[in-house]
Amino acid sequence: MSDAVDLPEANAEPLPVRVRDDRGLIYPFEEKPVPGSAIEVAPGVLWLRMKMPMQLDHINVWLLEDGDGWAVVDTSLNEQGSKDAWEAAFAHYLGGRKVTRVFVTHLHPDHVGLAGWIGEKFDAPLHMTRTDYLMCRMLVTDTGKEAPEEGLSFYRAAGFPKDAIDKYRERFGGFGFGVYRLPQAYHRLQDGDEISIGGRTWRVVVGRGHAPEHACLWCPEESLIISGDQILPRISSNVSVFPTEPDANPLQDWIDSCLKLRDLLPASTLVLPAHNEPFRNVTKRMQDLIDGHEEGMGKLLAMLDEPRRAVDVFPALFRTRITGGNYIMATGESLAHLNCLIARGQVVRTRGADGIDLYARA
């Protein structure tokens, strides 16, 4: 059922997709697009895939036919490879028409990175949720600044060794490098909004926990949802606590959002995620994610008969050994699980005279 439309110069072999996985998810497309080509997943809905120079090495972005032009959903990182891929896509698929609007699901650089660049090129307005737009504007201003004392004491409290603290200092402000300057005004997306794109109605469904106010675009009429990072088939989205809000409980937000999406979307909905490939059986995927986090919290609780630091509980949540490079991610996720257990009254946190937090079963 896939309809691959390759650029004349794109001569790489299409990449095969595993059709069904062992968890009951169905991947209806046999191929995924190579950079510079698109696959039409529904009439007027094009799937493009951009390469990214990082561990998560790709992002899916979408073109939606929109009257006399095309709307873009998500944009990839602000770097040359993605700009080149967009230029190729514009030349090949827009057919002289323009980009009408830029929709961004959430604030992360792989999604918002080139929104400003595409917007400037076509004079196309940006559509985002308010919290994510404002937080993105805030985070880009960190670039070029020193790591703040609040951040250093947050990670010391979690039990970071010195080399991990140094890594945090070194990486602080990196967010802004992946993001082209944003427009100074935007159009707000809110949960429940109905937006007409190319004669179809797309409903905004907000999810929380991975980003503060993540917008998915759901088209019930075509049984499609562009899900950003809120619904991913193979990888679990990062759900983390950060130094700006040490007592946040993003994991409960995330679980609540999974429940909402599980009950809202028919299992037959074709999910168009930002990473991995389009799939069906969202009901199962949402339940598996909820179960996975609950199981993680159960294992964590079993480790807390004796007080432990946040960095001591990694084995409850991660199968691989955590090294300096991913200490921040692993700690953020561990704290998300610990804060959720605190909110549920199952864990207590006490700060020692050395400024290090200890967590124990309540």
| Binding stretches for Zn ion (CB under 5 A) | 108, 110, 229, 274
In 3D space, the residue among 51, 79, 58, 57 whose CA is nearest the CA of residue 177 turns out to be: 79
Please say which residue, 35 or 69, places its beta carbon nearer to Zn ion. 35
CA 226/CA 26 separation, integer angstroms = 16
Q: What is the dihedral of CA 17, 22, 26, 31, to 10 degrees?
A: 0
Distances from the Cα of 138 to the Cα of 141, 175, 239, 329, angstroms: 6, 10, 20, 20
Please say which residue, 66 or 213, places its beta carbon nearer to Zn ion. 213
Question: In the bound complex, what is the minimum distance in angstroms from residue 221's beta carbon to Zn ion?
Answer: 26
Please say which residue, 251 or 300, places its beta carbon nearer to Zn ion. 251
Distance of alpha carbon 311 from its chain centroid, rounded?
24
Judge contact between 99 and 70, C-beta under 8 A: yes
Question: In the bound complex, what is the minimum distance in angstroms from residue 240's beta carbon to Zn ion?
Answer: 11
Please say which residue, 235 or 343, places its beta carbon nearer to Zn ion. 235
| Structure tokens that stand for 312 in this block | 């001591």
Please say which residue, 100 or 240, places its beta carbon nearer to Zn ion. 240
Please say which residue, 66 or 110, places its beta carbon nearer to Zn ion. 110
Question: In the bound complex, what is the minimum distance in angstroms from residue 352's beta carbon to Zn ion?
Answer: 34
Sign, Cα dihedral of 250, 334, 145, 180: negative
| Structure tokens that stand for 130 in this block | 């308010």
Question: In the bound complex, what is the minimum distance in angstroms from residue 111's beta carbon to Zn ion?
Answer: 6
Judge contact between 227 and 216, C-beta under 8 A: yes
| Structure tokens that stand for 329 in this block | 């991610």
Please say which residue, 59 or 301, places its beta carbon nearer to Zn ion. 59
Question: In the bound complex, what is the minimum distance in angstroms from residue 107's beta carbon to Zn ion?
Answer: 8
CA 35/CA 54 separation, integer angstroms = 16
CA 315/CA 236 separation, integer angstroms = 17
| Structure tokens that stand for 139 in this block | 């985070």
CA 278/CA 225 separation, integer angstroms = 10
Question: In the bound complex, what is the minimum distance in angstroms from residue 278's beta carbon to Zn ion?
Answer: 15
Question: In the bound complex, what is the minimum distance in angstroms from residue 106's beta carbon to Zn ion?
Answer: 6
Q: Collapse the DSSP code of 212 into the 3-class scheme (helix H, G, I; strand E, B; otherwise coil) and give the result.
A: coil
Question: In the bound complex, what is the minimum distance in angstroms from residue 225's beta carbon to Zn ion?
Answer: 16
Judge contact between 281 and 261, C-beta under 8 A: no
CA 97/CA 77 separation, integer angstroms = 23
Please say which residue, 274 or 317, places its beta carbon nearer to Zn ion. 274
Please say which residue, 223 or 236, places its beta carbon nearer to Zn ion. 236
Name residue 146's amino acid: E
Question: In the bound complex, what is the minimum distance in angstroms from residue 250's beta carbon to Zn ion?
Answer: 12
Say which residue the tokens 């807390």 belong to. 304
